[in-house]
């Protein structure tokens, strides 16, 4: 009887291991897949060195799906819902990606359920998708500011790439994370208001959520995180 119990435990452990998350490093990339359990999140392909990792907040160069293309994006994760909404309402993020000595391509940033994602739009999508395949290096640039406040100094990182095509081939098979779609519903309605109105809403919302200094406190937090990313 005891043997049968231990055998059952072993089978359960083995079946659980088959569905467990997997992480594989391919060249300069890390491919992280949560497993094949029902409802599992898509795989994440990110550069192996984070340009921000502080206080539970991470900043990565990731590869995500946009239609049939795989494109580079800048992903900030671990932000609270309040900070995400404040960033969408009263913040401004300028981000870009540049391969080798090529032109700098601007990204469009927006908050989603998975974090704050800066991704290419329109012509930049095709250019970055094509350039990614043969790129040996990339420069990532991001700057953040809050309405009515002095912008924070932009941060820039030069990254050496390797194993990109092999990692992307595996990502296509496993299924990539998708670039978030444009804001809809209440968030889209709020974003259409004047800068002063959005600033006021963000300030009230943050104070209600436990940030006594409202938007000013978020500016200080962003300065702290950006400084830590150097």
**DSSP structure string for 97-160:** EEETTS--EEEEEEEETTEEEEE--THHHHHHHHHHHH-SEEEEEEEEEETTSPPPPPEEEEEE
Distance of CA 134 to the CA centre of its chain: 23
| pLDDT > 90 in the chain, percent | 35
Ordered alpha helix ranges (H), the chain: 2-18, 81-90, 123-134, 164-174, 185-191, 195-208, 215-228
State the pLDDT at residue 213: 65
Per-residue pLDDT of the chain (230 residues; tens, 9 = 90+): 433 333 333 333 333 444 556 889 999 999 998 866 545 678 999 999 998 887 788 889 999 999 889 999 999 888 777 667 666 666 678 899 999 988 999 999 888 777 889 999 999 999 999 999 999 999 999 887 666 666 667 888 999 999 999 999 999 998 898 998 755 444 444 444 455 555 555 556 555 555 666 556 555 655 555 555 55
Q: What is the pLDDT of residues 184-212, one digit of tens each?
A: 444 444 444 455 555 555 556 555 555 66
CA-based angle 44:109:164, to the nearest 5? 35
Report the predicted TM-score, pTM, of the whole model to 2 decimal places. Answer: 0.71
Angstrom distance (rounded) from CA 87 to CA 144: 9
**What pLDDT was estimated at residue 190?**
46
């Amino acid at each position: 009887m005891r043997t049968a119990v231990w055998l059952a435990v072993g089978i359960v452990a083995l079946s659980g291991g088959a569905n467990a998350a997997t992480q594989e490093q391919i060249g300069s990339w890390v491919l992280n897949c949560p497993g094949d359990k029902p409802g599992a999140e898509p795989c994440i392909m990110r550069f192996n060195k984070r340009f921000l990792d502080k206080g539970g907040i991470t900043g990565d160069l990731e590869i995500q799906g946009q239609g049939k293309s795989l494109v580079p994006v800048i992903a900030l994760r671990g932000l609270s819902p309040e900070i995400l909404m404040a960033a969408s309402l009263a913040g401004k993020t300028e981000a870009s990606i540049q391969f080798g000595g090529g032109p700098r391509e601007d990204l469009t940033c927006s908050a989603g359920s998975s974090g704050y994602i800066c991704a290419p739009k329109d012509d930049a999508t095709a250019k970055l998708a094509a350039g990614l395949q043969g790129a040996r290096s990339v420069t990532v640039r991001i700057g953040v500011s809050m309405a009515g406040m002095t912008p924070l100094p932009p941060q820039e990182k030069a990254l050496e790439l390797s194993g990109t095509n092999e990692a992307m081939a595996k990502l296509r098979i496993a299924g990539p994370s998708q670039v978030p779609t444009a804001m809809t519903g209440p968030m889209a309605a709020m974003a259409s208001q004047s800068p002063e109105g959005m600033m006021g809403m963000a300030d009230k919302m943050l104070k209600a959520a436990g940030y006594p200094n409202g938007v000013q406190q978020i500016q200080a937090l962003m300065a702290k995180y950006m400084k830590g990313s150097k």
